[in-house]
């Protein structure tokens, strides 16, 4: 006994794509994470740009190549114990994941530095606005 055929028999409503596929026009490029100390240090010295906000410090360096966006995260012990530092870095990672593909530029390295008390306590929407503001300032320089 076979089940009755449906108009959508194995096909999605709009062509061959599954209805579960994202509606985004193009896939978003995921930033690569900086891991080497020399990359962090390069973002800290000229000709790199820096911009502080209430929630974080952002350092940006134009590598002048066609590579993708790279990002690093750091928090000093001033932020607090390991639990507080990790929480601040998780929030920075999530903000970067949402903002950098839209407002970041390819061929740039960014380092996001957490601030004591502010990064972990600041409302998340304001933290994202801080990152957008800092990126605009860095790219304008």
pLDDT at 16: 56
Helices (H), 34-77: 37-44
DSSP 111-126: EEEE-TTHHHHS-HHH
For the cut 60, the answer to whether the pLDDT of residue 139 exceeds it is yes
The rounded distance, in Å, linking the Cα atoms of 127 and 4 is 53
pLDDT at 23: 47
For the cut 80, the answer to whether the pLDDT of residue 1 exceeds it is no
- Residues 77-136: tens digit of each pLDDT: 999 999 999 999 999 999 999 999 999 999 999 999 999 989 999 999 999 999 999 999
- Residues 9-66: tens digit of each pLDDT: 554 455 555 555 444 444 567 889 999 999 999 999 999 999 999 999 999 999 988 7
The rounded distance, in Å, linking the Cα atoms of 101 and 26 is 12
pLDDT at 24: 47
The rounded distance, in Å, linking the Cα atoms of 43 and 54 is 20
| Tokens (6 digits) for 132 | 């957008």
CATH architecture of 32-140: 2-Layer Sandwich (3.30)
Confidence band, pLDDT 50/70/90 cuts, at residue 67: confident
Helices (H), the chain: 37-44, 82-103, 118-121, 124-140
């Amino acid at each position: 006994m076979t089940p009755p055929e449906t108009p959508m028999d194995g096909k999605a409503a709009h062509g061959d794509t599954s209805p579960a596929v994202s509606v985004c026009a193009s896939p978003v490029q995921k930033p690569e994470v900086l891991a080497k100390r020399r990359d962090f240090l390069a973002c800290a010295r000229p000709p790199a740009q820096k911009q502080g906000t209430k929630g974080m410090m952002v350092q940006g360096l134009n590598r002048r190549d066609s590579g993708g966006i790279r990002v690093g995260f750091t928090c000093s012990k001033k932020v607090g114990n390991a639990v507080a530092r990790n929480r601040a870095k998780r929030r920075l990672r999530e903000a970067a994941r949402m903002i950098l593909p839209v407002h970041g530029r390819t061929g740039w390295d960014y380092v996001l530095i957490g601030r004591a008390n502010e990064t972990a306590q600041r409302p998340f929407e304001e933290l994202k606005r801080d990152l957008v503001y800092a990126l605009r300032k860095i790219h304008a320089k």
